[in-house]
Amino acid sequence: MAHEFVYSQPVKIFFGAGKFAKLGEVLEELGVQRCVIACGKHFAPTAREMQEKDPRITAVFGAVEQNPQLSGVAETARLARETGADAVIGVGGGSSIDTAKFAAAIARGDGSAEDYYYGRKPFPADRLTIVAVPTTAGTGSEVTQVSVVSNGTEKKTINNPVFMPRAAIVDPVLSSTVPPRTTMNTGLDAMAHALEGYWSKNHQPISDLMAIEAVRMILENLETAYKDGSNMEARANMAYASLLGGLSFALPKTAGSHACSYPLSEDYHLPHGEACAFTLDSFVRINADERLELLCRRVGLSGTEELAQRIAALKELAGLRRRLSDLGEVDLDKLAHDCAVHGLMQNNPVPMDEAKLKAMFENLK
């Protein structure tokens, strides 16, 4: 029986192969007259070609990197301000989308990017429209009000309605060029979103349904997308699963594995998806309960142990780091402490203190 809940999802989603070609129509529908594109190196040449053909695209910030920096946000906001843009389009993985979201939120403010990053100023009421176009199948950032941005080595997640895109264009064709290892990292990030949204203390029935379907589709398609990136059916299914993963954690928020991913990225430089996957099978075992057993049966697995083993096998297949020894010299006390104090750990259904986390990591020796 459904307990009480509030559900809302304001992003208009355009999904399908070739949908990116409709960007112009989407901009028209949103009333966008001038816009800036934020993207990484892989998409920058295409963005510049688009700029030559479409006078509405006033500038391109094409240097977004993994774990995007606040300086890139500030530069994108400056370009938007100086060219009179009324929208920022993020095309790329989560890094590009999060850069676009933050830049759109602050472009019309009178403070510096640091002022908003450190909460010294409230976000301005007047903001630019955000359009998110994912080119990886993982983060679900196109449907969340989260922006994850780093200032130097400090990586911060800011959760604020100002970051909610107006529209998302999810075109699986854009993900066909993602290299195999990034395909696995991002696919396991989507798996973490679905599982953590499902077992989060704030889980709710509509999000649960999407989580179950996302887990099922990832189990059925990630290995194929990893082994054969040109398989468009697997890519499309992963793009859809990633979208569902985003929707399944957007309200409940993530939990233990994401909490642990921050120190693993900051101190041991694991890409986001790999960092989430590092502890995901451990948390499947830690959080195993009747609800998780039900999810497993609904996705065709015998139970939680099989789910943990399937996740471990996917990590092994792609050669992702899985053991503490893969991280180099590890300060276990600091790692356990930093994971324990991360805010998302509070969402984990099983309370995890420093001692329990240390024991979990010791099992990964």
The residue within the footprint of ligand NAD, chosen from 76, 144, 200, 287 (CB under 6 A), is 144
SS3 call for 61? strand
DSSP 324: G
Sites for ligand NAD among residues 221-280 (CB under 6 A): 272-273
Cα–Cα dist 242/94, whole Å: 11
94 binding ligand NAD? (CB under 6 A): yes
The residues facing 88 across adjacent strands are 36, 130
Cα–Cα dist 274/292, whole Å: 22
User: Which residues are CB-neighbours of 61 under 8 A, at least 6 positions away?
Assistant: 36, 37, 38, 39, 72, 75, 76, 79, 99, 103
182 binding ligand NAD? (CB under 6 A): yes
148 binding ligand NAD? (CB under 6 A): yes
Judged by beta carbon, residue 143 or residue 288, the one nearer ligand NAD is 143
160 binding ligand NAD? (CB under 6 A): no
Judged by beta carbon, residue 41 or residue 120, the one nearer ligand NAD is 41
SS3 call for 252? coil
76 binding ligand NAD? (CB under 6 A): no
Cα–Cα dist 192/10, whole Å: 23
The tally of CA atoms less than 13 A away on the side-chain side of residue 94 is: 28
108 binding ligand NAD? (CB under 6 A): no
171 binding ligand NAD? (CB under 6 A): no
The residue within the footprint of ligand NAD, chosen from 175, 204, 248, 304 (CB under 6 A), is 175
Judged by beta carbon, residue 146 or residue 225, the one nearer ligand NAD is 146
Q: What is the 3-state secondary structure (H, E, C) of 108-159?
A: CCCCCHHHHHCCCCCCCCCCCEEEEEECCCCCCHHHCCEEEEEECCEEEEEE
The residue within the footprint of ligand NAD, chosen from 178, 212, 236, 270 (CB under 6 A), is 178
Minimum distance between the CB of residue 250 and ligand NAD, rounded to whole angstroms?
Answer: 8
Cα–Cα dist 315/305, whole Å: 16
Q: How many residues bind ligand NAD (CB under 6 A)?
A: 30
The residues facing 89 across adjacent strands are 37, 131
Judged by beta carbon, residue 275 or residue 301, the one nearer ligand NAD is 275
183 binding ligand NAD? (CB under 6 A): no
Minimum distance between the CB of residue 225 and ligand NAD, rounded to whole angstroms?
Answer: 12
Sites for ligand NAD among residues 111-140 (CB under 6 A): 135-136, 138-140
Q: Is 15 left (phi over 0), alpha (psi -120 to 50) or beta?
A: beta
Judged by beta carbon, residue 35 or residue 130, the one nearer ligand NAD is 130
> What would the x/- binding string for ligand NAD be over residues 36 to 75, using CB under 6 A?
----xxx-----------------------xx--------
98 binding ligand NAD? (CB under 6 A): yes
Cα–Cα dist 18/208, whole Å: 29
Stretch of 94-102, 220-228, 302-310, 311-319 lying at the interface with ligand NAD (CB under 6 A): 94-102
186 binding ligand NAD? (CB under 6 A): yes
Q: Copy the structure tokens of residue 333.
A: 């006390």
177 binding ligand NAD? (CB under 6 A): yes
Helices (H), 142-300: 180-199, 205-227, 232-250, 256-268, 272-286, 290-298
> What would the x/- binding string for ligand NAD be over residues 331 to 350, using CB under 6 A?
--------------------
Helix axes 94-106, 70-82, angle to 10 degrees: 50
The residue within the footprint of ligand NAD, chosen from 58, 99, 129, 141 (CB under 6 A), is 141
Under the rule (CB under 6 A), what is the footprint of ligand NAD?
40-42, 66-67, 92-96, 98, 135-136, 138-141, 144, 146-148, 174-175, 177-178, 182, 186, 189, 272-273
